[in-house]
Amino acid sequence: MAYGTITRRRAVLTSGASLAAPSVRAQAPYPAGQSVALVVALAPGGASDVIGRIVTQGLQERLGGTFFLEHRTGGSTSIAARYVARARPDGSTLFLGSVSTFALTPLTMRNPGYDPINDFTRITQACESLFLLAANPRWPSLEALLDAARARPESISYATWGIGTTSHLWMEDLCRRAGVRMLHVPYAGSPPAMTDTIAGRTDCLPALLAACKGHMEAGRLRGLAVPTATRPPQLPDVPTFIEKGFADFVSAVWYSVQGPPGMPALIVVRIRDALARHFADPAVQAFMAAQGMLPPEIGEGPLLARIRRELALHRELMVRAGVEPA
């Protein structure tokens, strides 16, 4: 199953159906031959591209029309979010937003230019990307790392992909739960953070499974623990944080499909049902598992609950970490 063929820049719409008024489009079987952009807030080549291609291919196969990725990067994902929040609510513009867009950037920016609750039509979650605490191989276990951190506060370092990011706040939560103080070393992205942990310049880092699995298999990194309820099949030998005594320490990097506010209910239902069928396909599930992804919980309710829950959690963690909105 290939997901690399449905990415292009926004097409110029020329057909009569594509130029029809939103009310007419809503009455026709969506997407009625129109081109639909799935806006992605991150640069090409990462996990968001992979899940974006899964989404666009699934919608195209099940609904017809043309679905494609449109990258609008920058502003800690706020540029893409503002663009979608102001787009026409006719189904021609959708948004692949992440936990950063809806539960971090609204807290870390004084004026992100959008409201994560009120400025979007929530369709469904798209996936969770598994991540874990990975360490330089000199650390044999989570216990050894935390014991050293307790014995020598701020002598053990952790790398992240930036101040106020998911990786930073997640590590602050772990340190709080463990009763330790570690030295935070922020980087401009995850690749240099991983490079320095492999080289031993930092001790550990939160890392997406898809990015670090090869390094773990080659012995360049060691997986210490995963924040999942049970051990994922991709990492049967890596314990969960729950097994290590951290009750309810479950987390993931997640993505969702949303649209501008005021989208017609009939269009929302068609998109949601198509994605539910797509994500239930065993071949799609196998492909996602190979990428370190878990299938989503379908529906608006679970997505809204998650956004509200994680906004509250990250607000608390930012205070503890001393992160001020910029």
Residue range 243-266, pLDDT digits in tens: 999 998 988 889 999 999 999 999
Q: Delimit the CATH 3.40.190.10 region(s) of the chain.
A: 131-244
Q: Tell me, what's the pLDDT at 28?
A: 63
pLDDT at 1: 55
Measured CA angle at 235 (ends 161, 289), to 5 deg? 80
Decide if pLDDT at 226 tops 70. yes
CA distance 268 to 274: 10
Q: Is the dihedral of CA 313, 318, 319, 324 positive or negative?
A: negative
- Looking at 21-156, list the stretches that DSSP marks H as alpha helix, in order from N- to C-terminal side: 22-27, 47-63, 78-85, 99-103, 105-108, 142-151
Where does the chain hold its CATH 3.40.190.150 domain(s)?
35-128+253-321
Altogether, the residues listed in the chain come to a count of: 326
Please state the φ and ψ torsions of residue 22, each to the nearest 5 degrees: -55, -40
The DSSP result for 171-228, as a single string, is HHHHHHHHT---EEEE-SSHHHHHHHHHHTSSSEEEEEHHHHHHHHHTTSSEEEEB-S
pLDDT digit string (tens) for 131-180? 899 999 999 999 999 999 999 999 999 999 888 888 999 999 999 999 99
- Tell me the average pLDDT of the chain: 89
Residues 138-148: tens digit of each pLDDT: 999 999 999 99
Q: What is the spatial distance between Cα 109 and Cα 116, in angstroms, rounded to a whole number?
A: 12
The pLDDT of residue 24 is above 50: no
For residue 124, what are its two tokens? 């469904």
Superfamily name with CATH number, domain 131-244? Periplasmic binding protein-like II (3.40.190.10)
Please state, for a pLDDT cut of 70, what percent of the chain lies above it: 91
Domain 35-128+253-321 top-level CATH class: alpha beta
Task: Say what the pLDDT of residue 15 is.
Answer: 30
Please state whether beta strands 66-71 and 35-40 pair in parallel, antiparallel, or not at all (unpaired): parallel
